[in-house]
Amino acid sequence: MRKKFLFFKQLSIVLFLLFGLLSLFCEKKEQKDVIQQALEIFEQQQNQQALPQTTIDYGEMMNTIFELEAVIKTNPDDIEARQALLKAAIDTNRKKIYAIGEGLTDTTNTSEPQAKQRAERAALIDAQRWIMFIQLWQKDISTPSITEKVTGDVPPFRIVQKALLPGDKVYFMIEVNL
């Protein structure tokens, strides 16, 4: 009986030490996992900080896009101009698409503030239309022509630049998410 008691006592000590070592090992493994996660987060933050913080020159971008839109207006089926517009209007780093809209004020039958509001609305609609063309040309550069009517939903946009030029013209540059 005494031998059985000693055997169980030794067995319980061995099991106690074994469970103690296992729990210690598990805690170290959990600590390693937590440390690994913290290191990964730190590396991600370092990588984000390492990226150059550049600002966008919307004025220059607006001029480039406007010139390309003008080329496409004069030659609606110019594939090379469409490709150049896609390169200029799509910022893959920021995941944005940019477009310019033009509106003309006409004070013939309305007051000046109303004419300005109408011109601004026309510029926004024109910019949204260009966004739709750019999105469609991403899928198939050859169609549609800007002379065709297009319909669809324009994603939410943000006005990033506004220009009022002599000659009663209003220009808006908008951006949408890619």
C-beta of residue 68 within 8 angstroms of C-beta of residue 173: no
Q: Is the model's pLDDT at 49 over the cut of 50? A: no
The residue type at 56: I
Longest dimension (CA), the chain: 116
Instruction: Annotate 12-36 with b (16+ C-beta within 10 A) or e (fewer).
Output: eeeeeeeeeeeeeeeeeeeeeeeee
DSSP code of residue 75:
S
pLDDT band at 51 (very low <50, low <70, confident <90, very high): very low
pLDDT > 90 in the chain, percent? 41
Note the pLDDT tens digit of each residue in 4-33: 555 555 656 655 555 554 555 554 445 445
- What are the domain boundaries of the chain? 1-53, 58-177
Strand stretches in the chain, DSSP E: 90-91, 96-104, 157-165, 169-177
* Residue in this structure with the two tokens 């074994």, named with its chain if needed: 18
Mean pLDDT of the chain: 79
Which residues, in sequence order, are bridge partners of residue 25? none
User: Would the pTM of this model clear 0.85, i.e. be above it?
Assistant: no
Residue 101: how many other CB atoms lie within 10 Å? 24
Note the pLDDT tens digit of each residue in 99-136: 999 999 887 877 888 888 899 999 999 999 999 999 99
pLDDT given for residue 101 in this prediction: 95
41 backbone dihedrals φ, ψ, rounded to 5°? -65, -45
- Helices 79-89 and 112-139, interaxial angle, to 10°? 110
